[in-house]
Amino acid sequence: MNDVIKRLQKEADEAKQLYMTEICRLVAAHLEVCPQDADHVTMDKTLNGCFKFLQERARKNQVNGCGVCNDRDVYEYFGFAGDITPSSPVMAGTTVGVASKPQAMADFSIDDLFD
């Protein structure tokens, strides 16, 4: 798995294109959760090949000149199967606190005004 991620990371670094970095990030995140899928990322599966696949998929799906593709298309290109719904990101080291009671602008009684 680590060899696959390193190979894709090297390709993304050499390309110096944001879309290649994003595809690499998506594949690496999937492989962290499903390391058994690393076998699907053979040497003929590249970020550039994936990008061309995404372009073609977007061309086929376009409406009024606007084509769209998504994460599932990336997973399809690399041959990942099963539940591929991305999990929500978790922020390490953060805690959820309880909201404090709202404070009034002024803390006094009406009787305090007439003393």
Which amino acid would we find at residue 92?
Answer: A
Residues 38 and 61: their CA atoms lie apart, in Å, by: 28
The count of C-alpha atoms lying within 13 angstroms of the C-alpha of 12, restricted to the half-sphere facing its C-beta, is 19
User: What are the Cα distances from residue 81, in Å, to 30, 74, 113?
Assistant: 11, 11, 72
Q: Is the pTM of this model over 0.75?
A: no
Distance from C-alpha of 84 to C-alpha of 76, rounded to nearest angstrom: 10
pLDDT-based confidence at residue 91 (cuts at 50, 70, 90): very low
3-state secondary structure of 66: strand
Domain ranges (residues) in the chain: 2-78
Residue 102 pLDDT > 70: no
What per-residue confidence (pLDDT) applies to 107? 64
Q: What is the pLDDT of residues 10-35, one digit of tens each?
A: 999 999 899 899 999 999 999 998 88
Based on its alpha-carbon atoms, the radius of gyration of the chain, rounded to whole angstroms, reads 25
> What tens digit of pLDDT does each residue of 37-68 get?
999 999 999 999 999 999 999 999 899 989 98
